[in-house]
Homo-oligomer: A and B are copies of this chain.
Amino acid sequence: MTELPMQRGLLFCLSGPSGVGKGTVIAEVRRRRPQIAHSVSMTTRIARPGEIDGVHYFFKNTEEFRHLLEHGEILEHDNYCGNYYGTPRTPLEAMRDEGRDVLMDITVPGSMAVMKNYSDVVMLFLMPPTLSELRYRLTKRGTECESVVEQRLLKGRSEINKANLFDYVVINDELDATVDRILAIIDAEHCRYERLKGIENFVLSR
């Protein structure tokens, strides 16, 4: 095989309503393709015992976090129980420079921010097969009371209506098929001409 110039890693963002199964899908994608990196979030909450800076989270104080935020270094962020949580840009760029693809797991509101702050990202929407299936998956967890399920479903409904803002929609009906589709999207994106600009000059020069 010919040695081609190393392609920069690509950035993929997987989003979808609560209960659709993002966590399970991402775990299975990584199990099948361990070279796909995930982005480590940044937080202002105190590290719990055993949590390692740069592995579980990047731990920062509020001042540092706000500074990064103001300088466009946080692609999306949220405030939960008085602590910031966000996705920092620099570590993600470093992984891409090493040629690794990065797959991020981001909430739907978070993905709207990512789209705005980062042009070179491939947006995937994980879709439940039906709304009743989403209700079933939310209920199955068993930890939430009915009113919480209804609230999440209402939110999910409005999030599903944002699918048109994404590049790809993957219907999460059966885990293996879903992961096949996501891996196909990752492989196909590497073949898009816009990702390979100038390849013709490389080929013609050898």
Q: Write the residues of chain A forming the contact surface with B, with a CB cutoff of 8 angstroms.
A: 1-2, 4, 125, 127-133, 157, 160-161, 163-164, 166-171, 173-174, 180-181, 183-185, 187-189, 191-193, 196-197, 199-200, 203-206
Given A160-B204, A184-B184, A193-B163 in contact, is the A174-B127 Cβ separation under 8 Å?
Answer: no
Q: How many copies does the complex hold?
A: 2
Known: A131-B203, A163-B199. 17 other contacts (CB 8 A): A2-B133, A2-B171, A4-B129, A127-B199, A130-B203, A130-B206, A131-B204, A157-B204, A160-B200, A164-B200, A166-B193, A167-B192, A169-B192, A169-B196, A171-B203, A187-B188, A188-B189
Q: Are B185 and A170 in contact (CB under 8 A)?
A: no
Minimum distance in angstroms from A181 CB to a CB of chain B? 6
Bound form: Cα–Cα A4–B163 in Å = 16
Minimum distance in angstroms from A19 CB to a CB of chain B? 13
Q: Are B1 and A173 in contact (CB under 8 A)?
A: yes
Bound form: Cα–Cα A166–B200 in Å = 12
